[in-house]
Structure 1
Amino acid sequence: MAFRLAMKPTFGARVNVEVLNEKGILEKSQFLASFTRYTVDELEALKARWIVEGSNDPVWIAREVLVGWKELVADDGTVAEFNEENKAFLLSIPPAAAAVQQAFWDNIVTARAKN
């Protein structure tokens, strides 16, 4: 497949979240996140803004780059709608916030090789 210079403004990436349950067993789950796609210059500007605006906020980057999701369910088993309230709730869960940020950084420059 030929590389296209015109790219969509977002990209999707799997977010793998690992959370301990009430029995101390690690539960693994995942969802598909939609992230803002940045040019090299825009990424450098984002990093500079993080230093000024968000360096004391561990989820600042995740809040900035996460713009949607699929395959994420609410506590009652229904599909979790992407909105600012649900986004804030997701990012208030430390393992989820860390996983979102990790997925973004892991996929911003190169896509992982498929097994």
Structure 2
Amino acid sequence: MFKLATERKFKTKIVVRMPNENGSHSQIDFNAIFKALKVSEIDALREGGEDLALLREVFVGFEKVVNEDGTEALFNDETRDALLDEPLVLAALSQAYLSEAIRGTGRQKN
């Protein structure tokens, strides 16, 4: 049964391959919490093909993110924007959101 809800959220694992100082890549991961929007709302936020405005609206939390000193990072506008300022993280978040929210092609459990 599909329940019409005023607000839905979902969580998904984000995996990013970040270049490192050794000339290779390190795989980092964290959990992102997204707010589900209607397709019309997504389209309006993505006008011009930019996902940054969309992600500022739908990226509403995270887990497994730490500060430089190793302490747990708190989600707020500043930490959200710091993550969105990293190009590879922005791309991974965008792909994850669109895969899960629109295409329904996110990770499948066996």
TM range (shorter): 0.7 to 0.9
Quote the Cα distance in structure 1 between the aligned partners of 2:46 and 2:89. 20
Percent identity between the aligned chains?
Answer: 30
Quote the Cα distance in structure 2 between the aligned partners of 1:61 and 1:45. 9
> Structure 1: where are the runs of 5+ without partners?
none
> Hey, what does 1:29 align to over in structure 2?
28
Quote the Cα distance in structure 1 between the aligned partners of 2:109 and 2:49. 35
Match of 1:112 among 89, 107, 110: 107
TM-superposed deviation, 1:113: 1.1
> Hey, what does 2:41 align to over in structure 1?
45
TM-superposed deviation, 1:18: 1.1
TM-score (norm 2): 0.84
Kindly report structure 1 stretches of 4+ aligned residues shifted beyond 6 Å: none
Greater relative contact order: 1 or 2 (C-alpha under 8 angstroms, separation 6 or more)? 1
TM-score (norm 1): 0.80
1:61-100 → structure 2 map (5 Å cutoff): 61-100=54-93
The CA RMSD measured in Å over matched residues stands at: 2.0
